[in-house]
Amino acid sequence: MVTDKAEDRQNRIAPSDDPSPGGPVRWTPPVLIVLLAVLLAWTAWAQIGERWTGIVGGLGLSAVLVWAARTAPADQWTTAAARAGLAVVLGWAGLAKALEPPALQKLAVEAYQLLPEGLITPVGLGLPILEIVLALLLLAGFATRLGGVLSGLLMVVFIAGIASAWARGLKIDCGCFGGGGQVADPPYLSEIVRDLGFLALAAWIAVWPPGRAAVDRRLGLYED
């Protein structure tokens, strides 16, 4: 009887959330990750509050991921949410570019003044395709770690390009969600911090693949 009472007391004191893959789901981080990623993609595409939304959103995404890493890093629903969120971002960015005229796609790349003339058109036309392919891979959870790594490298390229334009005094639209060319007052800091949040999502996916509802899991490439 004494032992049973002690066990009951221990069960009441112990936290109800189990960070193990088979335990109860911690829904708050996954929900916040998806919502923040979708909100950032929408505000960037619609060019709403560009001075501050990227900063708040990027820092918010990073904070949620740090929180998730401290509480339940092995929770595969968090990885699934990171996949879904980053897939929305890349898919939205790719489709926004792909639906524009080729001349505008070329202009967005040319404005950075980084590539030789012969590479501007292939990069302008190929980048939306790459983003859409990565989005589909992440959404399906196929080649998950590779998709996370490639998405992270793409974000590093974007961040470096924006930082380079800022450092050289160029005033251009980053063209991340369509558009491009010269602008009066580009929100470079907001764009960089926003992309750092997306980079954090890619890093999470690369470190803790594949997440729930993943093709990789059905193929037996990862075990809980």
87 pLDDT above the threshold of 70: yes
Structure tokens at 192: 């960089």
Q: Measured between alpha carbons, how far is 105 from 99 in angstroms, rounded to an integer? A: 9
pLDDT at 26: 75
DSSP H or E run through 6:
helix 2-13
Q: Where are the alpha helices (DSSP H) in 14-143?
A: 28-46, 53-71, 76-98, 102-110, 117-140
* Residue 216: closest CA among 157, 148, 152: 148
Local confidence band at 181 (pLDDT 50, 70, 90 cut-offs): confident
Q: Measured between alpha carbons, how far is 52 from 42 in angstroms, rounded to an integer? A: 14
* Residue 78: closest CA among 129, 36, 15: 36
The arithmetic mean of pLDDT across residues 119-145, rounded, is: 97
Enter the DSSP assignment of 100.
Answer: S
pLDDT in tens, 14-65: 333 444 444 455 789 999 999 999 999 999 999 999 899 999 999 999 999 9
Predicted TM-score of the model (pTM): 0.88
More confident call, 19 vs 200: 200
SS3 42: helix
* Residue 161: closest CA among 114, 198, 206: 114
Local confidence band at 75 (pLDDT 50, 70, 90 cut-offs): confident
Q: State the maximum Cα–Cα separation within the chain, in Å, rounded to a whole number.
A: 82
Q: Using CA atoms of 59, 17, 34, 211 in order, give the dihedral in degrees to the nearest 10.
A: 110
The arithmetic mean of pLDDT across residues 192-216, rounded, is: 97
Within 10 angstroms of residue 58's Cβ, the number of other Cβ atoms is 24
pLDDT at 224: 57
